[in-house]
Amino acid sequence: MAAISREEVAHLARLSRLAVTEEELDRFAGQLDVILQSVARIGDVAADDIPPTSHSVPLTNVYRDDVPVPSLTQEEALSGAPDAYEGRFRVPQILAEED
């Protein structure tokens, strides 16, 4: 299987919204390469006819009667927020001025 390059780690970090340092890029590329080489041997174990298992118990949707029950208050839901404004989560700008 493909080895993981420094550039690929940088790309994955961007996808993961992780601002990694140059030093971390070097370190992670080496370590992830070792991990991927170690796990690569699962590649040929299971034939095409083996079904995948995602959970060890059957997943079923959980339904209940449509009856209002107490939930977190707005104040409680916002209690851990780094920034809030008029009862809402306040976030940094999403669109730049020129957008």
Partner 1 sequence: MSDLTKMSAAQLAKAIAAKEASAVEVATAHLDRIDAVDERVHAFLHVDREGALAAAADVDAGKRTGPLAGVPVAVKDVIATKGVPTTAASKILEGWRPPYDATIVERLRAAGTVMLGKTNMDEFAMGSSTEYSAYGPTNNPWDLGRIPGGSGGGSAAAVAAYEAPLAIGTDTGGSIRQPGAVTGTVGAKPTYGGTSRYGLIAFSSSLDTPGPCARTVEDAALLHSVIAGHDVRDSTSIPQPVPDVVGAARRGAGGDLSGVKLGVVKEFAGDGSEPGVLSAFHESLEALVKLGAEVVEVSCPHFQYALPAYYLIAPSEASSNLARFDGVRYGLRTGDDGSRSLEEVMSLTRDAGFGPEVKRRIILGTYALSSGYYDAYYGQAQKVRTLITRDFEAAWKSVDVLVSPTTPFVAFPFGSRTSDPYQMYLADLFTIPTNLYGGPAISVPCGLSEGLPVGFQVMAPTMADDRMYRVAAALESAVGTLTPPTLEATA
Contacting residues toward partner 1, per CB under 8 A: 1-2, 4, 8-9, 12-20, 24, 28, 31-32, 34-36, 38-43, 45-46, 50-57, 59-62, 64, 72, 76-77, 79-83, 89, 91-94, 96
Measured from the CB of residue 86, what is the shortest distance to partner 1 in angstroms?
16
Percent composition of the chain: helix, strand, coil (DSSP 3-state, to 5): 40, 5, 60
**Ramachandran assignment for 75, one of left (phi > 0), alpha (psi -120 to 50 degrees), beta (any other):** alpha
Measured from the CB of residue 1, what is the shortest distance to partner 1 in angstroms?
6
**Which tokens sit at 76?**
């409680």
| Alpha-carbon gap, residue 87 to 84, rounded angstroms | 6
3-state secondary structure at position 34:
helix
**Which tokens sit at 30?**
């080496």
